[in-house]
Structure 1
Amino acid sequence: MKPNAAATAAALHYTIVPKDLAGHIFEVTLQIAAPAADGQVVSLPAWIPGSYLVRDFARHIVQIRASSGGKKLALKKLDKHSWQAAPCRAELTLTYQVYAWDLSVRAAHLDASHAFFNGSSVFLRAHGQEDQAHVLEILRPANVAGKSWRVATSLPELKAKRYGFGSYVAADYDELIDHPVECGDFLLATFEAHGVPHDFVINGKVPNLDIDRIVADLKPICEAQIALFEPRTKTAPMQRYVFMTMVVGDGYGGLEHRASTALICNRNDLPLTHQSEMSDGYRSFLGLCSHEYFHTWNVKRIKPAVFVDYDLRLENYTSLLWVFEGFTSYYDDLMLVRSGVIDEAAYFKLLAKTINTVTRGSGRFKQTVAESSFDAWTKYYRQDENSPNAIVSYYTKGSLVALALDLLLRTESAGKKSLDDVMRALWQKYGRDFYTRSTARQGLGEHEIAALIQGATGVDVARFLAKYVYGTADVPLAQLYAGFGMALDGAQASKASLGVKASRDAGDCKLAYVYEGRAAHLAGLSAQDVLIAINGLRVTAADVADGLHSAVGRYRIGETVELHAFRRDELLVVRAKLQADDMPALSFTVLEQAALLRPSWKKTTRR
């Protein structure tokens, strides 16, 4: 909802212009009509919601100056991301330049091809005035290419026309920084999902891109998610939604916002007009879109209590990311099959891949998924070569916890309840009125989930959570699936393995990960060692490309091989006894059509 005229007149006014495309510089002007009497304090966030790492965005401010009444005003730096202007009676103007060369979904990026920014990277917060209306003027760059540029954002227009440069408005600072902006000569396609317009925006070169296929696939995915949370009214929580996608040669990621998402993907993952089959890359891209769209409900409106009012200066700790990222990771692929975009065989292939990924790392026996959530700031977002041996992902194991809960709830309630009922209960209690209610906003408490699940389904899951969320046991998927006409099978390993993950480094074979208890580890090799030969045969780039399977596959399980490797500039010669390949190879056998895939317990006939 747009602020009223009176609020807009008293608003904070921002102007942003792509000033130097080759130098990657945005210039931002902030005008504060009524600055604090004792000197206005301003700051830039240290992190962006949805990406749990302190990034210190203020380090990209190149210059900043203050003025009032046309005269320069003193500006004191208080800490790494805060400033205080000298007291003044007239309007305070802050002008600053931001270096934007982060090709990701988290910050800002500017060159001759496009301009992209998250508000948390470029808009100073005026302390004490966060609840006022914030007006943003987006100016066109002063270059020839910029004449064909358009603007893509879910931020409500004030005087700007849709997709045009001009003024936009936010009710408060939180809303201002929750609508990223993409400017450029982008491709645009629009579809409706239950009456709500959705834009799909793509920037980057993709010859023969089948954009019509993308929107045709996204439409049922979005409609399935809207119907999940509001099965009776099919009402979406936003008036308009924007998918904004940056295409690169090698990249993958997304970041959720209240009415949009910023995505980055590999060019080769997108569908082409002359290809009818669905590639693995395109299936993953649709899963990414589904994941970020699900966050419209689960994270942007249903939140942990500590996220209701973010403190963007420092870490905000919660042990519940397994609910917010894990549950979302479960539903992202599930929505692909429920909407009919992929078939059941493809879904179970994706699910088996997740299970195999989780069971590969021994870190799952050392860190609970609740601890993984809490430690996101220091461990998950700061991974190193030992991470597979030390941590578990709240995304992937969290998704398996969600799957197991869904199976358990369906079993214990004789098919009357499921995890869908839990999501709707969370939505009704915390999310539906999050941005509209007049009373104080609420979020899920750190220890409320068990009671909420029992209230929504009648099933007591306290022991389940104690064992699999607050403990390190593997979720018993094979046991839970037994009653659903499905079997989870594991192939016997027949290939020899060193127990490493290798990467190519300037033609060398560098050991990225050395899994503990495996052959290389027991022989004394470490991550970052450069493996140069196995039994006197050079390790080649082709060997690295196939994960060393060919090079090691020449030998039998239990056979001892001699390894030559460099650690720094010192040659190591060690002997390793090869073990069976430790990469899990679980797969599903569907004995009958699985009820889990459907919103209801009853089987349905596939059309």
Structure 2
Amino acid sequence: MPKRTRLVNMISYSITPLDPKAHLFAVSLNIQSPQQPFQYLRLPNWIPGSYLIRDFAKHLSKLEAQDSQGNRLEVEVLDKSNWRIANHGKALQISYQVYAWDLSVRGAHFDESHGFFNGTSMFIEVVGQQDQVCRVEIAQTEFCRQQRWKVATGMPAQKTDKNGFGLYQAENYAALIDYPVEMGTFKEISFEACGIPHRMVITGVFDCDYERLTADLIKICETEIKLFKDPPPMQDYLFQVMVTGSDYGGLEHRNSTALICSRNDLPYHGMEKATDGYLQFLELCSHEYFHSWNVKRIQPKAYQLADLQTPVYTTQLWWFEGVTSYYDSLILLRAGVIDQPTYLSILAKQMTRVYRMPGRFKQSVADSSWLTWTKFYQQDENAPNAIISYYTKGSLIALALDLMIREQNNNQKSLDDVLLFLWHNFGKKQIGLEDGQIEEICSEVAGMDLSEFFASSLFATDDIDFANLFAKFGIDFKLRPAGSLADQGGSDSDAKDNYLANALGANVVDSGNNSIKLTHVWHNQAAYHAGLSAADEIIAINGLRMQNKAQLEQLMTRNKPGANLSCHYFRRDELRATELSLTEAPADRVVLSINETKTELNWLPV
């Protein structure tokens, strides 16, 4: 007698792109063997990899249920994202609609140009049956057919047409919500990295040198695969890219990533030197691809099968995001996509983002990770003064660890060895990491006691002594004042003779109202002492109208520290006046340069 399959208890979903003008997907859910006397349903409140309660259920409407005989059943609303249905053992058919107008990598978006969704926005979970196989039908409507849409997803296909519409299957609910879906008239490139099939689909209005992009992606992916010294943990991989005017971001998944970028970030035909935007895009690809190991497999124990209804807390994001942020640009260097001076410039700009944050002295990186749900993911205008990013300072902790391990072991070991230890002993075995465990492993692999380093850099708010750390590797580290309002650090060429542009002590933007709007005000600098606050609009200084940042920068460079300027500004709709006393710009821009005469150990690839 043949063995029975799990198809009897399979959970089946159907997704229909219902109305692009109303941005509505229609979803049906079939439960063959519901629990009795009540079947509970719920939708996640957050998506793995993005630590903010997003209340996806707010986009659901017309939630209805009936049994296999067509009898309508009452859906009891228990709270914002949980429901209960009384039943008598008969199969249940659930239907609902999802409003999809979130153009990001975290939610769902649908209009005449394309459709995209994450499973956390679309698939209601059948409580008690999370381990059942989930089947998904992505239906092709007449609109999709007329527009010649295609489907791209990492979800395993079962029976699909040439355009990708049809049946897919996930091994369980956790897998189901980890396969985002893109549909539309996207452009596609395909390549192999270490023998593994890869694809990138790009949606939007853009120009692109596909040949150059493909060549760079192969280098990046193969470098990361070889770093972990094993076949990659996925049989294929998909980059899903949404192109807009100015967006940026990414979210990792088990065999894919959802990315969003500016059309100016893509390479164009005839581009000789890679633009800053293109390098930023390649860093993003490198970062999210790296997460295939460091987050999706090497994981905090707290995030393994996490309850997506409520926040889950850990101090470990310094490793999972910070270390990944350290490697994303380093991989570009190792892959030969950029040279050493370019890498040092990128690294210096990343370090500058830390040194410009007064909040680094008020919040530890461990606390930044623990409180990511509120302080990091819900930043306000005071964020630079109050918090630090576990991405940016976490990457500096990773950098310092790499240099310290290399120095201790005469370059015979590095942070790579910690990664490999975690991969072989935790990631491949699907063992989650407890808080504090990674720090102990770093000491063990390095062969040195790193407890004091972690106490000061991770759990306290001390700056890391990079001048001494870099010296052993022939790198000069220095801090200088800003040379312009746009100065991000990275090289001395950005600096001017007078470092006065940032002496205002505030971030400013052109408001569009022929004025200058303050977005952030740094404590204990000129704007702060003048009583200026975020959202104030400066309209005149010394009796002259200030219409844009260029005028402000010109005025600042023509005055010396200590100069007193009269300032008129609007706070809301109220005209106010103050005196602005310029202060000397702080030395908070990082410059890294190679000192050939001092090299004792090699850190950068030759």
Instruction: Tell me the TM-score range normalised by the shorter chain.
Output: over 0.9
Task: Please say which of residues 46-55 and 8-17 is displaced more in the overlay.
Answer: 8-17
Q: For 1:81-230, what aligned pairs fall within 5 Å after superposition?
A: 81-143=81-143, 146-160=146-160, 164-207=164-207, 209-230=208-229
SS of the residue corresponding to residue 325 of structure 1 reads helix
Structure 1 SS opposite 2:142: coil
Q: Which residue of 2 aligns with 1:566?
A: 570
Match of residue 437 from structure 1: none
CA contact (8 A) 1:487 1:591 kept: yes
Cα distance in 2 for partners of 1:101, 1:54 equals 18
1:10-61, Cα deviation, whole Å (9 max, x unpaired): 3100000100011000000000000011211111100001111000000000
SS of the counterpart of 2:158? coil
Judged with a 3 Å threshold, the aligned counterparts in structure 2 of structure 1 residues 422 and 407 are, in CA distance, closer, same or farther, namely same
Tell whether the 8 Å contact from 2:341 to 2:593 is kept in structure 1 after alignment: no
1:122 CA drift (Å): 0.5
Q: Is the 8 A contact 1:539 1:551 kept in 2?
A: no
Aligned-partner residue type, residue 34 of structure 1: S
- Partner AA of 1:157 in structure 2: A
**Could you list the per-position Cα deviations for residues 159-208 of structure 1 after superposition, in whole angstroms to 9, with x for gaps in the alignment?**
1257510111110000000010000111111111111101011001113x
User: Does the CA contact (< 8 Å) of 1:8 and 1:134 recur in 2?
Assistant: no
Aligned mates of 1:271, 1:264 — CA distance in 2 = 15
Instruction: Give, in whole Å, the separation in 2 of the partners of 1:202 and 1:8.
Output: 35
| Alpha-carbon distance in structure 2 between the residues aligned to 1:29 and 1:541 | 53
**Which of the numbers 330, 333, 338 marks the counterpart of 1:334?**
330
Cα offsets for 1:463-490 (capped at 9, x unmatched)? 1000100010111111101100111123
Deviation of residue 9 (structure 1)?
4.2
Q: Is 2:284 aligned against 1:277? A: no
Determine helix, strand or coil for the equivalent of 1:580: coil
Please give the alpha-carbon distance, in whole angstroms, between the structure 2 residues aligned to 1:483 and 1:169: 53
Q: Is the 8 A contact 1:413 1:457 kept in 2?
A: yes
Is 1:490 matched up with 2:490?
Answer: no
**Residue 502 of structure 2 is aligned to residue 503 of structure 1:** no
Change (3 A) 1:262 1:492: closer
After TM superposition, give the deviation of residue 458 of structure 1 in Å. Answer: 1.5
**Contact (CA 8 Å) 1:140, 1:146: kept in 2 or not?**
no
Amino acid at match of 1:46: N
What's the counterpart of residue 438 of structure 1? none
| Stretches of structure 1 lacking an aligned partner (at least 5 in a row) | 435-441, 599-603
CA contact (8 A) 1:39 1:85 kept: yes
Q: Following TM superposition, by how much is the alpha carbon of 1:575 offset from its aligned partner in structure 2, in angstroms?
A: 1.0
Matched, 1:427 2:423: yes
Q: Which residue of structure 1 lines up, in the alignment, with residue 433 of structure 2?
A: 444
The answer (yes or no) to whether the contact 1:369–1:469 under 8 Å persists in 2 is yes
Q: Alignment partner of 1:291: what SS? A: helix
Map 1:530-569 → 2, pairs under 5 A: 530-543=537-550, 548-569=552-573
Equivalent runs, 1:10-409 vs 2, <5 Å: 10-68=9-67, 69-143=69-143, 146-160=146-160, 164-207=164-207, 209-230=208-229, 234-409=230-405
Secondary structure of the 2:377 match is helix
In 2: Cα distance, 1:140 partner to 1:5 partner? 31
Q: Does the residue aligned with 1:159 lie in a helix, a strand or coil?
A: strand
The equivalent of 2:603 in structure 1 is 596
- Deviation (angstroms), 1:505: 2.7
TM-score, normalization by structure 2: 0.94
CA–CA separation in structure 2 for the residues paired with 1:162 and 1:291: 31
Which shifted more, 151-160 or 550-559? 550-559
Q: Answer yes or no: is the 8 Å Cα contact 2:510–2:547 preserved in 1.
A: no
Assess if the C-alpha contact under 8 Å between 1:495 and 1:557 holds in 2: no
Q: In terms of mean alpha carbon deviation, does 286-295 or 458-467 score higher?
A: 458-467
CA deviation vs aligned residue, 1:220-260 (integer Å, no higher than 9, x gap): 11111111112xxx411100000000000110000000100
The code of the aligned residue for 2:107 comes to: A
Which amino acid is the alignment partner of residue 45 of structure 1? Answer: P
- After TM superposition, the score normalised by the length of structure 1 is 0.94
Q: Distance in 2 between matches of 1:264 and 1:182?
A: 12
CA contact (8 A) 1:140 1:147 kept: no
Q: Alpha carbons of 1:363 and 1:451: their partners in 2 closer, same or farther (altered >3 Å)?
A: same
Q: Which moved more, 1:216-225 or 1:579-588?
A: 579-588
Q: Distance in 2 between matches of 1:310 and 1:389?
A: 32
Q: CA deviation at 1:148?
A: 1.1
CA–CA distance in 1 between the matches of 2:413 and 2:553? 45
Aligned Cα RMSD in Å?
1.5
Is the Cα contact below 8 Å between 1:489 and 1:587 reproduced in 2? yes
Q: Partners of 1:338 and 1:225 in 2: how far apart?
A: 9
Separation in structure 2 between the aligned mates of residue 84 and residue 337 of structure 1, nearest angstrom: 54
Q: Is the 8 A contact 2:66 2:73 kept in 1?
A: yes
Q: 1:119-144 CA distances to partner (integer Å, 9 max, x unpaired)? A: 00010000000001000101113216
Aligned to 2:495: none
Report the alpha carbon displacement of residue 565 of structure 1 after superposing the two structures with TM.
1.1
Aligned to 2:588: 584
Q: Over residues 339-365 of structure 1, what are the superposed CA-to-partner deviations in whole Å (9 max), with x where a residue is unaligned?
A: 001111110000110111110111000
The Cα of 1:515 is off from its aligned counterpart by: 0.4
| In 2: Cα distance, 1:260 partner to 1:580 partner | 48
2: CA distance, partners of 1:161 / 1:192: 23
Please give the alpha-carbon distance, in whole angstroms, between the structure 1 residues aligned to 2:450 and 2:146: 57
Change in Cα spacing, 1:220 to 1:86, as seen in structure 2 (3 Å) is same
The alignment partner of 1:379 has SS state of helix
Amino acid aligned to 1:409: I
| Structure 1 letter corresponding to 2:14 | T
CA deviations over 1:81-126 (Å, ceiling 9, x no partner) = 0111121322101000000000000000000111100000010000
- Secondary structure of residue in 2 paired with 1:474: coil
In the alignment, is residue 471 of structure 1 matched against residue 435 of structure 2?
A: no
1:524 matched to 2:523? The reply is no
* Letter in structure 2 aligned against 1:336: L
Q: Indicate the percent of aligned positions where both proteins have the same amino acid.
A: 46
**CA apart distance, 1:5:** 7.8
Cα offset, 1:584, TM superposition: 2.2
